Structure 1
Amino acid sequence: MNATPAGPSVVIVDGYSNSGAYTGEYAALGVGALHVQSTAEFLPKMVPPDLSAYRETFVCEGPDAVEDLVERLRPYAPIAVSAGQEPGVPLADLLSERLGVATNGTAGSRARRDKFTMIETVRAAGLHCAEQFVGSDPAGITAWARERGSYPVVVKPRSSSSSDNVFVCRTEAEVTRAARSVLAGITMYDERNTDVLVQSHLDGTEYIVDTVSAHGRHAVCGVWRYDKNLLPSGRPLYDLDVLQDPDAPHVRELIAYVLRVLDALGIRHGPGHAEVIMTDSGPALVELGARLNGNMNPGHHEAFSGTNPARLAALAYARPAEFTARHGGTVYAKSCEAVVHNAATSREGLVTGIDTAVLDKIASLPTVREVVVRRPAGTRLVPTVDLMTSPLRVFHTARSQRDILADYRVVGQLTDDVFRLAGPAG
């Protein structure tokens, strides 16, 4: 092992996707970052971390390697351990507990990753949530839906994300097909599904509630409305995340509910990303991740609130007293309208190049702050069926929703032209 560097360090477990923002935020606080990879290889469906941003990197190749990893980390005297994205949550709980730093603890880890256990934990706390059943046999899943006697129902994996293999089913035949599809699939985290989760359909509008916590004191970073389209297959296609007015009555109700969910799931430290449906009976949890919102873009967030969840989470871990004094119990400000657009395509083929002229045209639209190409050259473009197959993510801000929606329509017209393809056209 190299000589340990001077100065405090924090451990980031699985720093995929936008959790790369952590390294700069910690550096601004005088804290270096160490990266821990929870699997022997990077997960193929996730954007890998930039390891050059870390002081040191480690790989945990399974449960038997945890104690060795703890001893290798001890000389760095980490002040905190945080999950970068969803697959790192259980290991972050374990490492933080073993290293004696702020921790959500291992006792509640399963409830923070397994969706069936999560909902049952929330139900036990007296909170409104879906009816549900879990099983490994499509016939059993179908029988539960039949005996319940009310459609639609939702069929999905027990532990995944990004709308991976989520189906809204209106008949027994659709439930059976969906259950078989889930069992045949591999999750976002490269794990084979051995169970299927079926839940009552929560009728209402779905929202995101993002939070950051320190010692059980929570700050609400954003509440967003999901605008979705339903594909003929029954899979929901996420289109827009629309920032909500923090003073709106429905937002206050959502926030109050999610704060109780955080407590029920034992999330006292770090970020939380909740998905909640506002039903006629009040809010009901879809799921909650103890990590950053995968759609969080620091510059976009700062444009409407003056800060971003990665910065708040870094402060919460590195300087918890300062975080609680400045942000504990607060709700984000909203200085302008903000939208995240997950663009869709019906084309398929190997991406041989990006048409920069078209991309520049999108980027120059008045409300567009940033465009993220999610299918670069050398990858395969496929028809969009979920968040992971969206080829572009576009971040908008403006004084009015009307201006954003005008540019959103232009992006929809231009998306397919961004990608030069070899293979099937369409």
Structure 2
Amino acid sequence: MRSEQVRPVAVLVDAYTSGNHLPPAFARLGVDVVHVQSTPELMTSMRLPDLTAYRAVVPHGTPAETAARLAEFEPICVVAGQEPGVELADELSELLGLPGNGTALSRARRDKYEMIETLRRAGVRCADQLKSGDAEEIVAWAEQRGAYPVVVKPLSSAATEGVAVCRGPVEVRKAAEAVLGTVNIFGERNDEVLVQSFLDGEEYMVDFVSYGGQRHACGIWQYRKRLDGTHRLYDRDSVTEPDAEPAPEIIAYMHEVLDALGIQYGPTHAEVIVTPQGPALVEIGARLSGGVLPDFNDLCLGGNQADMTALAYARPQEFLDRHAGRTYRKLTEASQIFTATTLEGVVDSLDREVIAEIEALDSVHLVVPKLAPGSRIRPTVDLYTATLVVWTRHDSVEVLERDYARIQELAERVYRLHPESEPAA
């Protein structure tokens, strides 16, 4: 069939949220895309894929059925567009005989307990941990260990959903019970909960693209989070210099992590804490970063993870020759800012004048309100309940700091609540 096709085809599995950047990235290289979803229905808890960007949408089926349908397109690759699609992408690429990470360690690339245990078996620095479906067993482990704080979180989630930093048994029990029996953003039931030793140090977001085990570091951003009760809220992240410590140490550590988890192909998004003993993984996703914004990343880093992923699969030799073994460049100071709220109620409208004032600040590249009229606004506990995302860049750190402070002052005024809404207690 390939001889009849003008353009090659890439398969994207569950291209939600930032996965929406992949169709245009492949299109720029002359590659069409086909979408596959890992569930019978689309997951409305995330930003949906724009299905008009695809040559075809393959109905949900068994992996074997799906692979048979996809074979008709003679695809060049299968790529996970977002976290739920990681395991199916591994299986489909294996069934179709395409470059991929294989299925042997697929679970370790999704399940946070298996992820860390796989690192431990490989001798890679990582946290102590326990998983259990019993909150009392989680409490007993924390008490026996005798070193607080500890971190309680779901086995599979994202954006700090359900993550709690606990300083004693009461907080541990409450956090474990808050997770057990719930359903995460990906529609998966939390029948067990994970407790881990607290990794003390600065936290970094680390993005790579790999092909055949050869890698390009797309960006390292230092997280700024603030603790609100047991929740560590995203505040902002700032781009780091790739040639200055701790970036080289983080990059070297990440090669160990990626090798241990069998990630030889595709994009990855990791969170790493640099402890006094050295870098240690918080978690990793075998997919694009949720924060990638291609035009912004191009201006700040000289490239972006979505285009790099498409290049690796569409033109692997070009990727290897131009980018493998190299890193991003820091072209300017830059931050991504997340605003929190204490409001609770229903959004009646957005104050466009306030948004315009934020957009007019010297460093602001893009402002994205996360709530629309009719949406319920709740006090922020994780990334999903943040109210605004603002991308900023400027040559001056002082300008960035000034604009950050003003954004925080204005953020709570962006949303007007329905008159019947009650303020949070």
In structure 2, the residue matched to 1:178 is 175
Separation in 1 of the partners of 2:343 and 2:375? 13
Q: What CA distance in whole angstroms lies between the structure 2 residues aligned with 1:379 and 1:322? A: 45
Tell me whether 413-422 or 109-118 shows the greater mean CA deviation.
Answer: 413-422
Aligned runs of 1:45-124 on 2, under 5 Å? 45-61=45-61, 65-124=62-121
Question: Residue deviations 1:258-285, cap 9 Å, x none?
Answer: 1110111111111011111110111111
- The amino acid that maps onto 2:40 is A
Letter in 2 for 1:99: L
Separation of aligned partners in 1, 2:223 and 2:121 = 27
CA distance in 2, matches of 1:249, 1:226: 15
* 2:24 counterpart of 1:24: yes
Structure 1 residues 357 and 193: CA distance shift in structure 2, 3 A: same
Partner-residue secondary structure (3-state), 2:180: helix
Give the equivalent residue in structure 2 for 1:366.
362
Alignment partner, residue 152 of structure 2: 155
Quick one: distance in 2 between partners of 1:344 and 1:363?
A: 18
2:348 aligns with 352
> Structure 2 matches for 1:247-326, cutoff 5 A?
247-326=243-322
Q: SS at the partner of 2:200?
A: coil
Q: Tell me, which stretches of 5 or more residues in structure 1 are unaligned?
A: none
Q: Match of 1:396, as an amino acid?
A: T
Q: Residue 339 of structure 1 aligns with which residue?
A: 335
Partner of 1:200: 197
SS of match in other structure, 2:87: helix
Name which of 126, 131, 136 aligns with 1:129: 126
Q: Which contiguous aligned blocks of 4+ residues in structure 1 show a shift greater than 3 angstroms?
A: none
Whether the 8 Å CA contact 1:38–1:91 is kept in 2: the answer is yes
Cα contact 1:44–1:190 (8 A) shared by 2: no
Alpha-carbon distance in structure 1 between the residues aligned to 2:195 and 2:326? 36
User: Residue in 1 aligned with 2:382?
Assistant: 386
Aligned-partner residue type, residue 35 of structure 1: H
Q: State the match for 2:397 in structure 1.
A: 401
Alignment counterpart, residue 218 of structure 2, candidates 217, 221, 231: 221
The range that moved more, 182-191 or 295-304, is 182-191
Moved more, 329-338 or 409-418: 409-418
Partner of 1:7: 7
Report the alpha carbon displacement of residue 342 of structure 1 after superposing the two structures with TM.
Answer: 0.9
- 1:104-159 deviation per Cα after TM superposition (whole angstroms, max 9, x unaligned): 00111011001111101111111111000011000111111111111111100011
- For 2:280, the aligned partner's letter is A
Aligned twin of 1:418: 414
Q: How does 1:34-49 map to 2 (within 5 A)?
A: 34-49=34-49
Q: AA paired with 2:351?
A: D
Give the secondary structure class of the aligned counterpart of 1:76. coil
Q: For residues 369 and 243 of structure 1, what CA distance do their matches in structure 2 show? A: 15
The partner residue of 1:237 within 223, 233, 240 is: 233
TM value normalised by structure 1: 0.96
Distance 2:5 2:58 in 1: 15
1:166-223 deviation digits (Å, cap 9, x = unpaired) = 0111111111111100104221211110001001111111111110011110000111
Q: 1:5: Cα distance to partner?
A: 5.7
> Is the 8 Å Cα contact of residues 13 and 81 (structure 1) preserved in structure 2?
yes
Higher mean alpha-carbon deviation, 415-424 vs 235-244, is at 415-424
Secondary structure of 1:417's match?
coil
Q: Residues 111 and 117 of structure 1 are in contact (CA less than 8 Å); yes or no, is this contact kept in structure 2?
A: yes
Q: Kindly, what percent of the aligned residue pairs are identical?
A: 47
- Output the CA distance in 1 between the equivalents of 2:311 and 2:386: 32
Shift of 1:322: 0.8
Query: RMSD across aligned C-alpha pairs, in angstroms?
Result: 1.2
SS of the residue aligned with 1:150? coil
Aligned counterpart, 1:377: 373
Distance 1:66 1:105 in 2: 14
Contact 1:39 1:59 in 2 (8 A): no
Distance apart, 1:401 and its partner CA: 1.8
CA distance in structure 1 between the partners assigned to 2:91 and 2:373 by the alignment: 38
Length, aligned pairs only: 419
Query: TM-score with structure 2 length normalisation?
Result: 0.96
Contact 1:38/1:59 (<8 A) preserved: no
Name the amino acid aligned to 2:152.
Answer: V
Matches of 1:5 and 1:385, distance apart in 2: 48
User: In 1, Cα distance between the equivalents of 2:46 and 2:296?
Assistant: 21
Q: Which amino acid aligns with 1:171?
A: G
Q: Which structure 2 segments of 5+ residues have no match?
A: none
**2 CA distance for matches of 1:267 and 1:180?**
33
Find the aligned partners of 1:347 and 1:99 in 2 and give their Cα distance. 49
What one-letter code is carried by the residue in structure 2 that aligns with 1:124?
Answer: R
